[in-house]
Amino acid sequence: MEFIFHEKQEGSLCAQHCLNNLLQGEYFSPVELASIAHQLDEEERMRMAEGGVTSEDYRAFLQQPSGNMDDTGFFSIQVITNALKFWGLDVILLNSPAYQNMQYLTCLKLGHLSVCRPTN
């Protein structure tokens, strides 16, 4: 590797910076991650509609803001997981046996995402 790519943190776009630092390039923008979030929102809306579009639960669901993104730059773990799938990568939980074979680690601490390389 000739150089290490590091995208400087701007605002609250931890997910974008974490993904780009992990992938070592400018692969995801807030617009692209928002597109993934909107797709997830639509899938959730369709699933909720299966219970009936006139149901109280469905109407309450439509009144709620997206759980996949917000105006601060937050993106959900589902958005991050779907973004990584474009690259054939998976999210693995720390208590999973597969964790032992990981090359990179994405850490969530106090609402902030970062990429780490295990030292074991």
Q: What is the DSSP letter of 114?
A: E
pLDDT band at 9 (very low <50, low <70, confident <90, very high): confident
DSSP readout, 65-100? PPSSB-TTS-B-HHHHHHHHHTTT-----TTSGGGG
Which amino acid is present at 73?
A: G
First to last CA, the chain: 21
**pLDDT on residue 107:** 57
Residue 67 maps to a domain: yes
In a domain, residue 115? The reply is no
Which has more pLDDT, 29 or 22? 29
CA dist 46 and 26 (Å) reads: 32
pLDDT band at 113 (very low <50, low <70, confident <90, very high): low
Domain that holds residue 80: 14-88
111 located within any domain = no
Domain for residue 93, yes or no?
no
In a domain, 33, yes or no: yes
**What integer is the mean pLDDT of 106-119?**
56
pLDDT digits (tens, 9 = 90+) for 29-88: 999 999 999 999 999 999 999 999 999 999 999 999 999 999 988 899 899 999 999 988
Whether 56 is in a domain gets the answer yes
117 within domain boundaries: no
Residues 30-33: contacts with CB within 8 Å, 24+ apart?
30/73, 32/83, 33/69, 33/75, 33/79, 33/83
pLDDT at 10: 81
**Rounded to an integer, what distance in angstroms lies between the CA atom of residue 81 and that of residue 92?**
10
Residue 62 covered by a domain: yes
Number of domain units in the chain: 1
Residue pair 36/43 in contact by the 8 Å Cβ criterion: no
